[in-house]
Amino acid sequence: MTDIWINMGPQHPMTHGLFNLRVRVDGEIIVDANPLLGYLHRGVEKLCERRDYTQIIPLMDRLCYVSSLTWSHAYCLAAEELMEIEIPERAKYLRVIALELQRIASHLMWLAAFGPDVGMFTAFLYAMREREYILDMLQMMSGARMNQNYPRIGGVRNDVPPEFTDKCLKVMDYFDGKRKQYERLFDDSAIFLMRTQGVGYLSKEDAMDLGVTGQTLRGSNVPIDMRTHDPYEVYDQLDWEVQVEKDGDCYSRYKVRMNEMWESTKIIRGALKKMPKGPVRVKPPKRPKGEAFRRTEDARGEALIYIVGQGETSPYRVKVRSPVFANLRAAPVILKGNTYADLLAIMGSIDVCIGETDK
Amino acid sequence: MKGTEVAQAVKEKFKDLVSNVSFPRDRVVRLYVPRESILPFCKFLRDELSCEHLSLVTAVDWPENFECVYHITSYLEEYMVELHVKIPKDDPKVDSLSPVWKGADFAEWEAYDMMGITFVGHPDLRRILLPEDYLYYPLRKDFKG
């Protein structure tokens, strides 16, 4: 028996971003795997120490281009905790709407990448088509399709235009109407089910022990979502449910993400309905002192930002917890014992984004 | 479980070892323990207080010493412990938490890579984001780039 190490990457259709997954195979079976990171390391945490608090917001947007708003929001939330300010009620609702739009856009981007991985190119075309409408809404809010730079410490940059509510509801109706089409495309497809069901099993105990979060954790039957576990903004006042699946395989992780998208439309409808009138921003203090952290549910899992301030205009230390970094830790455990042909489906179902992993 | 109840439980067990206890939020407790007792302390958190999840390991470079900050979550009881450990500059070593939580090694890799803190008992301590032959620890304050 000879062992062979195969380099999947750094440039490979599987890797969304640059990273190298070294896989040891015995014939067709994967015996070991080792993710090599660092190709996209930009030193974000060091850069934060040279910039003032407001200048960090666009930098945080660049952590993950697929779901940039969730990152700048997580940073603003932690900075508000450090500065001990309370933001206006309307800003909280606007943030929730923006975050959920971003979550749908991010999940659609994931679907567009995951589909071709398991041999369904139609998924790419469908998901990209819908994503464009969602990005239109984000553009209407913030002026940009991607890297929006929309949250501010103390609120959001600007209020939405008056026609936003109607247009957004229209998009939500359109998107909800597509649900059946998606379910028929995926859940009725024998090929898709064969490639995902029972593949890449991760047990509940392993998932908790390895520090896995997000959809990978919820796909393994652990109902933990930071939006309810450690509520922020107004998520606890809106009507929605945490999505969990029992099986712990690729199909469960796919199903959690799909259900979450429809759940997000529910949150957006609720937030649009309940949103009060009023200001959207307060002025933050300039030189905070102390330390603070906040957790949010990023599109990929638990994002945690820890800030230490020393009474200067720039923070003393900023630390970013990337959910994908921890989820990649679980990749070797999930991969072991599966066939090499299933590797794409498994890594696709983890939803890797290297920008935030390498920082 | 509220932060105050958690603080009371650990104080009963570890007495004077726990210091500087504060409560940033209702369900969050911030405390300091000495470097030597981190492993038994975390084992106690996991086994007795149902802390299943180590969220984050941060290393901070203070003028007098290094500090490791551990964010530990309990899913069941819905609280969080922010554990601070002071580490002297001339001997930057601390016990690895990978015997307690398997996922700890990835987070500790990053603290080693960026701040040069050695985690004793780590299964495979190496550079993860930076090149293998890199000479510096870039997040230290004396690194000017």
DSSP tally for chain B: helices H, then strands E: 3, 7
The structure tokens listed for A59 are 């930098």
Residues of B in contact with A328 (CB under 8 A): 106
A225 touches B: beta carbon within 8 Å: no
Distance from CA of B15 to the nearest CA of A (A): 25
- Dihedral pair phi/psi, residue B110, rounded to 5°: -65, -40
pTM score of the predicted model: 0.90
Give residue B18's pLDDT: 79
Residues of A in contact with B56 (CB under 8 A): 304, 306, 319, 321
Distance from CA of B86 to the nearest CA of A (A): 15
**Which of A40, A319, A357 is best to mutate for the B interface (most B CBs within 10 A)?**
A319
Phi-psi category of residue A38: left, alpha or beta, with phi > 0 → left and psi -120 to 50 → alpha: left
Q: Give the residue numbers in B contacting A (CB under 8 Å), as ranges.
A: 24, 27, 52-56, 58, 60-61, 69, 71, 75, 78, 80, 82, 101-107, 110, 114, 127-131, 138-139, 145
- Dihedral pair phi/psi, residue B76, rounded to 5°: -70, -50
Give residue B45's pLDDT: 86
**Which of B129, B133, B141, B144 is best to mutate for the A interface (most A CBs within 10 A)?**
B129
Using 70 as the pLDDT threshold, list the residues of chain A that sit under it: 1-2
A44 touches B: beta carbon within 8 Å: no
Distance from CA of A318 to the nearest CA of B (A): 9
- Give the 3-state secondary structure of residue B95: strand
Give whole-number Cα distances, A293 to A77, A79, A190, A217, A359, in Å.
8, 8, 45, 22, 18
**Inter-chain contact A43–B69, Cβ cutoff 8 Å?**
no
**Inter-chain contact A295–B55, Cβ cutoff 8 Å?**
yes
Dihedral over Cα of A268, A231, A352, A62: its sign: positive
Closest residue to B55, CB basis, from A38, A46, A321? A321
Using 70 as the pLDDT threshold, list the residues of chain B that sit under it: 145
Give residue A34's pLDDT: 86
Other residues' Cβ atoms within 10 Å of the Cβ of residue A201: 17
Dihedral over alpha carbons A255, A256, A257, A261 (to 10 degrees) = 100
* Helix (H) / strand (E) containing A201: none
CA angle B92, B106, A78 (to 5 degrees): 85
Give residue B145's pLDDT: 64
